[in-house]
Amino acid sequence: MSARGYFITGTDTAAGKTHAARLLVEALKLRGLRVAVMKPVAAGIDADGMNEDVRLLMSASNVAAPLGLVNPYCFAPAIAPHLAARLEGVSMQLEVIEQAYAQLAVQADVVVVEGAGGFLVPFNDACGMDAIPQHLGLPVIMVVGLRLGCLNHALLTAEAIRARGLILAGWIANRIDPHMAATADNLASLRSILHAPCLGEIPWQGDAAEDLGNIDSLLQQVFLPRK
């Protein structure tokens, strides 16, 4: 496969994976790269029959690709994907995701792959979402939703990533709770204990330009420099 790929996971559901993934895509595009996106599994659809996270990711990408490649598995109920698949009588297979990823990779310089839920959310009866970056051989970027409890969630997720032989390429801090106490102290703790580069901080309801600047200024730690 010709493209570099990265798997975006979060410390929990609603940690801000999609927003962070879009910022990564935009920052990579600024470097003159062709950036494909992928959401292998999604649950919950809008009035047009499409998952909103998938729609947002596709709107950021500069690689045109069929919906079936970007989002091989999509289910109507907004519940845990393996339960939604069971309700619809679908048996999700890693090989389907691998084939879709391979087709995206030949069109792009980088493929940004967003997971569903947290890192260990079940994929099917045999494995969890963690099997996707393992199967595709992707380093992982972790989005830390900054709220009470995030230190434990971040450490557990990082430990799970490394225990599976995967590379934690970096992490992004996302301020999802505007009332979180001691935010700066928590960020300092995360920087000292995660042993991975912080790729940026996303402020509470920051504007798009500010968010992108925060991510873009630190991406050189992991990604290619601008062309």
The span from the first CA to the last CA of the chain, in angstroms, equals: 22
The residues that are catalytic are 39
Q: For residue 211, which amino acid is it?
A: D
Q: Which residues on neighbouring strands pair with residue 165, listed in sequence order?
A: none
* Cα separation, 171 vs 190, whole angstroms: 10
Strands (E), the chain: 4-10, 35-38, 41-43, 73-75, 110-118, 140-145, 168-174, 198-202
The 8-class DSSP code of residue 203 comes to: -
